[in-house]
Amino acid sequence: MLRRTVVTTTAAALVASLAMPLTASADDVKEAMALVEKFAGRKTAWDGPTSGPKAASDKTVVVVAADMKNGGILGVTNGIEEAVEAIGWNLRVIDGAGTISGRSAAFGQALALKPDGIIINGLDIVEQKTSVESAKAAGIPMVAWHAAPSVGPVPELGVAANVTTDAMDVSAAAASWAFADAGGKPKVVIFTDSTYSIAIAKADRMKEVIEQLGGEVLEYVDTPIADTSNRMPTLTTALLQRYGAKWTHSLAINDIYFDFMGPSLAAAGISGDGAPKSVAAGDGSESAYQRVRANQYQAVTVAEPLNLQGWQLVDELNRAMQGEGWSGYVSPLHVVTPENIAYDGGPKNLFDPENGYREEYRKIWGR
């Protein structure tokens, strides 16, 4: 495990940052909670595309998934499967199984199939640059989910659209909730995975927000998402021994870190709603919803509309196949708390906006 306690902030160079004061006060807490509430409201109005090309016919697409054990990747894949059935294409999903070699092999299999399009699901395109460049050279249209730090096209690698919420808003919302919940005096541990550039960008943004607001980052922990089941139990115990009651909140770039913290916290005599409280800057997995609903070792997840994003990926790929640019749509994020978990898909343990997106995409495709 690699642990870093001093990190250079890079997130502000990626996107415009939200202005934050440098010292904590009652007004700062109020402003932080106002930001959270902005993203916690119901999502009932469709704000995505209303026009685009009709469905291309007789297409076969391949999803290259980084790790189907990851709840976010699984949720997006479910949405892709729904959308592919609606648009009338054929689909194959290849699992990279959470390792660099596995992801490389999965991409190689996808290329060998010579599909009409590739959907990159959760792979860092820098890590897989050689394979991505091979697909570009072969003229295979590509779209991606969480493959780069920012939303939109990555033209130098032939990716027509990288689909994600605004990762910096996600991170700011998570950090702001922790700041407000701690009464302006948070002492946090941040969990990330340097395998992914987007993970570092999100973690750096959380660190930046906490420190600009006057809170303290106790530790910045770089530990692989793919090995959380093995590492998090002992890591949690070690962090408790190191920081004890000083540790008020855990901030992670993905819910999966919290899948394996609960038993260690419980063994230390910490109640499900006690400190350190866990706050995830993505992705709103089923297990995260269950923990938030039960107040058991996770207070908040900043969820992405994974199923909707699956539909958006198919729409963006349909556009790319027909030579059209990306739609420009940035999907909404949602701060999920026990108070609002009853709507926008909460009863199904996912953020599924009640904005009619399935019908809207069917209209565009003529289906």
pLDDT tens by residue, 123-144: 999 999 999 999 999 999 999 9
The first and second tokens of residue 304, run together, are: 């992405």
**How confident is residue 57, by pLDDT bands cut at 50, 70 and 90?**
very high
pLDDT digits (tens, 9 = 90+) for 281-332: 988 989 999 999 999 999 999 999 999 999 999 999 999 999 999 999 999 9
Question: Would you state the pLDDT for residue 49?
Answer: 97
Question: Would you state the pLDDT for residue 35?
Answer: 87
Q: From its phi and psi, is residue 196 left (phi > 0), alpha (psi between -120 and 50) or beta?
A: beta
pLDDT digits (tens, 9 = 90+) for 163-184: 999 999 999 999 999 999 999 9
For residues 262 and 287, give the distance between their C-alpha atoms in angstroms, rounded to a whole number.
12
Amino acid at 35: L
Sign of CA dihedral 168, 170, 173, 175: negative
Q: Please say if the pLDDT value at position 226 is more than 90.
A: no
Instruction: Kindly report the CATH number that applies to the domain delimited by 60-163+306-323.
Output: 3.40.50.2300
pLDDT digits (tens, 9 = 90+) for 247-270: 999 999 999 999 999 999 999 999
Question: Would you state the pLDDT for residue 23?
Answer: 52
Structure-token match 């010579």, residue found: 114
CA-nearest of 323, 319, 343, 352 to 54 is: 319
For residues 142 and 313, give the distance between their C-alpha atoms in angstroms, rounded to a whole number.
10
Question: Would you state the pLDDT for residue 25?
Answer: 72
For residues 68 and 227, give the distance between their C-alpha atoms in angstroms, rounded to a whole number.
14
Question: Would you state the pLDDT for residue 70?
Answer: 86
pLDDT digits (tens, 9 = 90+) for 19-49: 444 455 788 899 888 889 989 989 999 999 9
Average pLDDT over residues 343-358: 94
Average pLDDT over residues 5-10: 28
For residues 10 and 8, give the distance between their C-alpha atoms in angstroms, rounded to a whole number.
6
Angle in degrees, CA 305, 334, 186, rounded to 5 = 135
Q: Give me the helix-helix angle, 306-321 and 357-365, nearest 10°.
A: 10
**Alpha helices, H only, 25-151:** 26-40, 71-87, 100-112, 129-137
Q: What value does the mean pLDDT of the chain take?
A: 91
Cα first-last separation, the chain: 49
Question: Would you state the pLDDT for residue 190?
Answer: 98
pLDDT digits (tens, 9 = 90+) for 97-132: 999 999 999 999 999 999 999 999 999 999 999 999
Average pLDDT over residues 339-354: 93
Question: Would you state the pLDDT for residue 197?
Answer: 86
Question: Would you state the pLDDT for residue 24?
Answer: 59
DSSP-derived 3-state class of residue 308:
helix
CB 245 within 8 A of CB 217: no
Average pLDDT over residues 185-200: 94
**How confident is residue 71, by pLDDT bands cut at 50, 70 and 90?**
confident
pLDDT more than 70, % of the chain: 93
Question: Would you state the pLDDT for residue 15?
Answer: 30
DSSP-derived 3-state class of residue 79:
helix
Question: Would you state the pLDDT for residue 283?
Answer: 84
Instruction: Kindly report the CATH number that applies to the domain delimited by 2-41+167-303.
Output: 3.40.50.2300
DSSP structure string for 219-252: EEEE--GGGHHHHHHHHHHHHHHHHGGG--EEEE
Average pLDDT over residues 154-158: 95
* Region(s) of the chain under CATH 3.40.50.2300: 2-41+167-303, 60-163+306-323
